[in-house]
Structure 1
Amino acid sequence: MRALPSMPVVVGIAALAVSAGGVLSTNGTQLVGNDAPPRFSAANAASGEIGSAVYDSTGRSPVLSRDSDRDALDDASDASLVQEVELQAEQRNEALGNLVEQVEKEVKNINLNRWSLPIEAGIYRLSATFGQAGSYWSSGYHTGLDFAAPSGTPIMSVANGVVTSVGYEGAYGNQTVVTLEDGTEIWYNHQTSYTVSAGDNVIAGQVIGYVGSTGNSTGPHLHLEVRPGGGDPVDPFAALVVNGVNP
């Protein structure tokens, strides 16, 4: 490759050309005599074309082209944008991961605390509902939900809890009381026999006794009561529905 003239030589030749009133063409732009400020570009050693640094004839420092600065800024901006996108993607993935974990925990918690029927579906019929009035009940109205079923039919705990009482309770006959974590008491009455003892932990669906007709009863059935905080009874049908069970 032919060697290019050094920078001082280029500048010197250009200055002589202008002082002589000649016309110099740079990058396709003509400068005639003193009609325009003489500005000259340094040759690009790689291509032989006019480069990116521009000189004037006064001997002042070269004026750098903005092209390289603009490219550098563009590159920096692109890199910053890529980093920002990657950071946002990472944060999004982390948030999604946390959300999935929370949902899984909630589903597990729901499954652990899900209620179930006290007697297998298809075996019982509802023979008396909550709030029915009548002299047959000592309170003047029915305080529970009756599941009529053959004697000896398994009775299952409707929810997880601790057995707090087992024994004969007058009009209720053989009774089992299971207390849930929130303090709600579930009463199972008129049983013929039990399978649990006070202090036992039970889970929803676990057999705790068998249908009978002990106490104030006209036939084999389970009299189920729901008492929040161990207080007054509420409608067991509504309580079951609220907890995902349709009796």
Structure 2
Amino acid sequence: MASNLPAPEGIENQEPPSAGAWGEWNPTEDSVRSVRGKHRVAKQRGGLARSSTVLGVGVIAAVGASGIATAQDRPQVAISMPSLPDLPDLMPGGSGAEITGFTGDDVRHAEAGSGQAAGTAAKTGIIPQQADRRADAGEVLRNRILQQADSQQAAAAAQAQAEAERVARETAAQEAKDKLEAAHKAAEEAKVAAEAKAAEEAKAAEEAAAAKAEQERLAKLAGSYSLPTSAYTLTSHYGVAGSMWSSGYHTGLDFAAPTGTPAKAVATGKITSAGWSGAYGYRIVLELEDGTEIWYCHLSSMSVTSGTVSPGETIGRVGATGNVTGPHLHLEVRKGGSTMDPLAWLTSKGLNV
């Protein structure tokens, strides 16, 4: 009869012993008595019998259920079977009692129990150990994977932080560079503006100084120069074109005033000529220290005809002699034989004409 016991793990491919190898055991009161030195097999009487080999397999299954290492983990070894006198201690009742009264159903129940025990052993002994070891290996592998993932995540986070710090440093450096360039540009612009302002202020100061010097010069000249007459009206200016003048334009400045109005020396000088001069009527020529000649024309009379005179000194009187349309003083300013604008010359001497 084939056993219902499951094979221990690792020896699944071994064929179970055949019923012919075990034989049948029909226990009776006589057949189960110990025969010294022999292994008796009784004929079947009202049920199945089990030989000591069957009991040995049950013992192996029970021992496997108690946690012995499986054949997968350890090499297979030979198993010595106990003799029949030794078996009672392993059976229910134990302590050397003889086994009697077993029926076929009892044996089947025993075999089923042994199969259950073997299955339980396979589940609670050998297989759980392998499952524990596999679970432990899986847990180790899982822990290693988690460790590796954590390490990779930490490395990625560190790399991201380093990259962020690098970007922040570059951004800060660029901002500092931009600020420095802006500061340099602002300083350069401020320098240019300051230089421009300083140049403008210097120019203004120079102009102010020049104006002041000119005022001082004119003030000084005002004491050295005098207007040629008083109570006058300017009627004809220098350069006016007309057929009345032989040159085709007016060569002097006309001070219209009543006849007899004093004509004065404009500056210190000496009289080089005094008398009648054709179209100019009575004329006096006053030569100044720098060689400039002042002509007084159309005079009604001449007070001084030679010598040196001072500024403001009366040298003649306004009249209407010569080619004229009315009493006036025709004043000409000449230098080097050429005429110039008397108004501009008098103004340059600080006189308010």
Helix, strand or coil for the counterpart of 2:300?
A: strand
- Supply the distance in 1 between the matched residues of 2:265 and 2:314 (Cα, whole angstroms): 6
Alignment of 1:1-247 (within 5 A): 110=220, 114-120=224-230, 123-198=231-306, 200-229=307-336, 231-247=337-353
Deviation of 1:114 after TM superposition, in Å, equals: 2.2
Q: Which amino acid aligns with 1:114?
A: S
Q: Which residue of 1 aligns with 2:177?
A: none
- Supply the distance in 1 between the matched residues of 2:228 and 2:310 (Cα, whole angstroms): 12
Helix, strand or coil for the counterpart of 1:233?
A: strand
- Supply the distance in 2 between the matched residues of 1:213 and 1:112 (Cα, whole angstroms): 29
Post-superposition CA distance 1:127-169 (Å, at most 9, x none): 1000000001110000000000000000111111000000000
Contact 1:113–1:159 under 8 Å retained in 2: no
Helix, strand or coil for the counterpart of 2:320?
A: coil
- Supply the distance in 2 between the matched residues of 1:224 and 1:142 (Cα, whole angstroms): 11
Greater gyration radius: 2
Q: Which amino acid aligns with 1:233?
A: T
Deviation of 1:113 after TM superposition, in Å, equals: 6.8
**RMSD of aligned C-alpha atoms?**
2.2
Q: TM-score, normalised by structure 2?
A: 0.38
Query: Number of aligned pairs?
Result: 139
Helix, strand or coil for the counterpart of 1:223?
A: strand
Q: Which residue of 2 aligns with 1:76?
A: none
- Supply the distance in 2 between the matched residues of 1:143 and 1:128 (Cα, whole angstroms): 10
Percent of matched pairs sharing the same residue: 56
Post-superposition CA distance 1:179-207 (Å, at most 9, x none): 00010000000000000022x10111000
Deviation of 1:118 after TM superposition, in Å, equals: 0.6
Contact 2:222–2:350 under 8 Å retained in 1: no
- Supply the distance in 2 between the matched residues of 1:218 and 1:159 (Cα, whole angstroms): 28
Helix, strand or coil for the counterpart of 1:241?
A: helix
Q: Residues 112 and 203 from structure 1, CA distance in 2 versus in 1: closer, same or farther, beyond 3 angstroms?
A: farther
Deviation of 1:240 after TM superposition, in Å, equals: 0.2
Post-superposition CA distance 1:88-115 (Å, at most 9, x none): xxxxxxxxxxxxxxx9xx98x9459722
Post-superposition CA distance 1:201-220 (Å, at most 9, x none): 01110000000000011100
- Supply the distance in 2 between the matched residues of 1:205 and 1:192 (Cα, whole angstroms): 18
- Supply the distance in 1 between the matched residues of 2:280 and 2:348 (Cα, whole angstroms): 26
- Supply the distance in 2 between the matched residues of 1:190 and 1:232 (Cα, whole angstroms): 20
Which structure is higher in helix share?
2
Contact 1:129–1:146 under 8 Å retained in 2: yes
- Supply the distance in 1 between the matched residues of 2:250 and 2:301 (Cα, whole angstroms): 23
Q: Which has the higher contact order (CA 8 A, sep 6+)?
A: 1
Flag structure 1 segments of 5+ consecutive residues without an equivalent. 1-102
Q: Which amino acid aligns with 2:239?
A: G
Q: TM-score, normalised by structure 1?
A: 0.53
Q: Which amino acid aligns with 1:212?
A: G
Q: Which amino acid aligns with 2:253?
A: L
Q: Post-superposition, which runs of at least 4 consecutive aligned residues in structure 1 deviate over 6 A?
A: none
